[in-house]
Copies of this chain bind each other. A is one copy, B any other.
Amino acid sequence: MLTNMLTLDFIREARERIAPHVHHTPVMSSRAFNAIAGREVWFKCENFQRGGAFKMRGAANRIFALDAQERARGVAAFSSGNHAQAVALAARDAGTRAVIVMPQDAPRAKVEATRGYGAEIVFYDRQRDDREAVARDVAERGGGLVLVPPYDDYHVMAGQGTCVLELLEEVQDLDAIVTPIGGGGLFAGASTVAKGVSAGRIRCFGVEPETGDDTRQSLHAGERMTIPPPPTIADGARVQSPGALTFPFVQKNAEDVLVVSDTELIEALKFLLFRLKILVEPTGALAVAVALFNKLPADVRRVGVVISGGNVDADALARIVKE
């Protein structure tokens, strides 16, 4: 059974392993938010994580679990988003080499941030090249770099789950947790923790943008479905199909996968910014929007929501706040 690898103990080990390299992020709540949501909501604020997103947890767990020979060679990843920065940062902490493969048209701010963490960047042409083939080529030519996948890896999933381990220690008696779903790594780790510490009692919900609901479709179909590139503002959830290794955890642990519109996402982002005074990226506000727009079952009274990241550039933010 595929889901045997990812256990509560394996995630507890991950926490020990990554503790020196990640922030124990704060949990926030808001009376004003709860009044609108009609339930008690706790936000696990991974926008305050190193690198600006929960991705640091999984990357650090993967890289610090490498053996000495692997660590001597270095790592590679393909990402233009938060995973790239996380791998660069964790590799720097580990004193190892990181090569990040990015599309030529990646936002310059993300390229610079990743390079700023000491990674080498290799560009590819989105139209012409297959990015996984490019990454494999880079890994081989680099003398056997170890690929750090963004979600389809048990160490990565376990690392991501550690944020919910922290949340459930800090807030007692939650009925449910809600996390965004891109490739499904965060949901896999988080739901394994929630089910594991509560003997299955805590209910687990995933959230996707309504135009990018590949995991919801897959859950309903009973198999992994592929959708066209979704046009959503939630760039971390523009994945076209759930991960091969993560999807079994959606099937096993998700009560439902909910969806929110981009308009709802932006409202949630603005509430967090102007009322709670925290900056959250659109993908990071997915689970918050589910609570704000009352999409959870009525008997969910106390809910933990993962805010997955806070990396937004100035131009995008200026557009969003004026909407």
Contact = CB atoms under 8 A, between A and B. Distances in A.
Nearest to A116: B32
Nearest to A321: B314
Nearest to A280: B277
A276 B26 CA distance: 13
A279 interface: yes
Contacts of A26: 26
A318 interface: yes
Interface string A280-307: 1000000000000000000000000000
A313 B310 CA distance: 19
Given A277-B279, A279-B278, A270 B314 contact: yes
B322 A47 contact: no
A95 to B, nearest CB: 17
A273 interface: yes
A318 B310 contact: no
A16 interface: no
A178 B273 CA distance: 25
Contact of A277 (B47, B270, B314, B315): B47
Contacts of A277: 47-48, 52, 278-280, 310
A311 to B, nearest CB: 8
Given A274-B312, A318-B322, 9 more contacts: A26-B26, A274-B313, A277-B310, A278-B278, A278-B279, A314-B321, A314-B322, A317-B317, A318-B318
